Amino acid sequence: MKRIVLQMLALGFAVVAHGMDTGALIGDAEAKKILEKKCIRLGTSEVLKVDFETACSVLMQPKLVEAIQEEFAQIIAEDGKVEFPVIDEGDGNYYYENEKGKRTDVHELYRKRTDEHTFNYVVWARGKRFFGGFDVVVHLQVVDAGHQGIIYSVNTHAYPHNWATRFFARNIGATKRYFKRKMEMISYIAREIGLSLCSKEDFRKRWLAPDVEQVPKLTQENSAVGLQPVL
C-alpha cells in the first residue's frame, strides 16, 4: 500500500511540473501574456479519495460559485457567513471586495473535461493589494487515479505589476510570502469544500443533475500526501 501511495505522489508531482500546460488550454491573449512573464509560481498536488466522475460533475455545475460559498459558510466560516461574498456578473465573470474595499475581478478562462481522465479549470484574477496591482492565473486540475481517487493539483502564476515588487518577490519578500500563504489557504479551502460537496447527499439533490444522483455517496476520508509548495 505504501508503495502505491508513493507512486501516486510521484505522479502527482509530475502532473504539477510537466502536465499542466495552462497556456495551451486558454484562448485569451492577455492572459497568455501573463503566463509568459516572470511570475511568482506556486503549486500543490495531493491524492484525494474522491470519485473522478463525481468531481467532474461538481466542477461543471453552472452555479458552482454559489454552491461553494454556501458550503464555505457551513464548514469553514466560524460565524456561518461568507466574509467577502463573490458576486456573479454572468458569463463566467465574478468580483469581490476585501475588508478594505479593494476589488478583485475574476474571469473563468477554461472549465471542462479535457479528456477521459482529466478535468481542467483555469481562472484569471486581477486586483490591488498593499504592494499594488496584480494579475494571477490559477489552474486547477483533477486527474483520475482509479481506486485511489483523484490527483488534485493547483498551480498559480502571480504577476505583481510593480517592477520593484517583482524583483524582491522572486527572492525574499513580503509579496512572495503573501502569495505563498494565499496559495496554501486557497488549496486547503478548495480541498475541504470539494470533499464535502462530493460527499453530501443534499448537494446532489439540490445541485447535481438527476442522472448524477445515482453515484454512490462518498466519505470525506482522504489520503492527502502533502500540500507541498513548488516554487
Give residue-wise pLDDT tens across range 104-126: 999 999 999 999 999 999 999 99
Report the C-alpha gap between 119 and 102 in whole angstroms: 32
> Which CATH superfamily hosts domain 2-212?
START domain (3.30.530.20)
Of residues 209 and 27, which shows the higher confidence score?
27
Quote the pLDDT of residue 35.
94
- List the one residue out of 67, 49, 47, 51 whose CA is nearest residue 216: 51
- Sign of the dihedral defined by the CA atoms of residues 207, 66, 191, 140, in that order: positive
CA distances from 60 to 2, 64, 215 (A): 33, 7, 16
C-beta atoms surrounding 113 within 10 Å: 15
pLDDT band at residue 200 under the 50/70/90 scheme: low
CB 57 within 8 A of CB 212: yes
pLDDT 10s digits, 15-31: 443 457 899 999 999 99
0.75 cut: is pTM over it?
no
Give Rg (Cα) of the chain. 18
Nearest Cα residue to 194 out of 128, 136, 140, 117: 140
